Amino acid sequence: MNEALLQPLTLGALEARNRIFMAPLTRGRSQQPGSIPGELMETYYRQRAGAGMIITEATGISVEGLGWPAAPGIWSEEQVEGWQRVTKAVHEEGGLIVMQLWHMGRLVHPDFLGGEPPVSASATTAPGHAHTFEGRKDHQQARALDTDEIPRVVEDYRKAAANAKAAGMDGIQLHGANGYLVDQFLRSSTNLREDPYGGSPENRTRFLREVTAALIGEWGADRVGVRLSPNGETQGCDDPDPASIFGEAARVLEDLGVAFIELRQPGPEGTFGQTDVPQQDALFRQHYSGKLVLNSDYSAAEAVADIDSGRADAISFGRPYISNPDLAARIEAGADWAENVNVPQSWYLPGPAGYIDYPAMEEAGQEKAAHEVAEGTA
């Protein structure tokens, strides 16, 4: 039944042993100060190396771009060394790992920036609250990046890509989704610019093009992917004509020849409350000939159906990978998936609980058998 998910897949120069990908998942376990991957993260990724491809949690490209407590970065030597231990662990298990590069734009609270405002495409304010080390605080108004500043931000992305290569990653993914900086340039609710980066879809995709080209300059297009979320409002970022802007984004990425695009397509109960817009993948299929990865709230049966139908080449699973470190093995065996416990409380809290203490399928079975013997029910 699950055979389609178990087939290998070539994405440019990336060779995935199956089509069960691990989606990027912010977990907030890096060592502080310094946002450095440590032993906990090494264990966490090693446990999940059975995925056809791991896409790492969103990883800050710079101090300016990282505004999530204890999320990791990739701008310092210490961070590179921490990630080297992670990639070594995944590779020892035969896994494939690419790093998601992240600039949060207007969603960075000034607390992370010494009191300075965050940057964005335009001077707008995100709705709701930012997560800080001191708890939730209202978002503050961003300042618009000056046109002559944009090359500096593009260079930050390039340096982060070079550091990811030094860390031993197999490739990289640009985070262009979920209302973060790239998305803030793409969508008209957050891009009010009147210069070459604003207005028409061609202009609003200019930042996406320049950043992606910089990443390709470091890695080659065959090891670069991009994540987008063409499915309604996300963290206050929206567009009245998504087909025009995301159709143009697909054309840009086709022109650049990236290895894969991952689309976040959540239902109405998704993490950020986005509204599902069906068949957005069909729009990308019209303009993009590379590999397409779909994400969010999939069962194994739904994943098989979308691969068999040609909607997707692979499926990235998010929350199921929190409580099922061996999700690929469970799908192959047709076994039940463990349910998340202590969620969402344990998603972002420090320490191993709810992070690396979920048993693999065999361990769970052994624990069940031991319990039954102890209770006299075996």
Q: Which residues are designated catalytic?
A: 180
Taking only Cα atoms into account, the Rg of the chain, rounded to an integer number of angstroms, comes to 20
Measured in residues, the chain has a length of 378
Name 228's bridge partners.
263
Backbone angles phi, psi at 87, to 5 degrees: -65, -35
Q: What is the 3-state secondary structure (H, E, C) of the chain?
A: CCHHHHCCEEECCEEECCCEEECCCCCCCCECCCCECCHHHHHHHHHCCCCCCEECCCEECCCCCCCCCCCCECCCHHHHHHHHHHHHHHHHCCCCEEEEEECCHHHCCHHHHCCCCCEECCCCCCCCEEEECCEEEECCCCEECCHHHHHHHHHHHHHHHHHHHHCCCCEEEEECCCCCHHHHHHCCCCCCCCCCCCCCHHHHCHHHHHHHHHHHHHHCHHHEEEEECCCCCECCECCCCHHHHHHHHHHHHHHHCCCEEEEECCCCCCCCCCCCCCCHHHHHHHHCCCEEEEECCCCHHHHHHHHHCCCCCEEEECCHHHHCCCHHHHHHHCCCCCCCCCCCCCCCCCCCCCCCCCCCHHHHHHHHHHHHHHHCCC
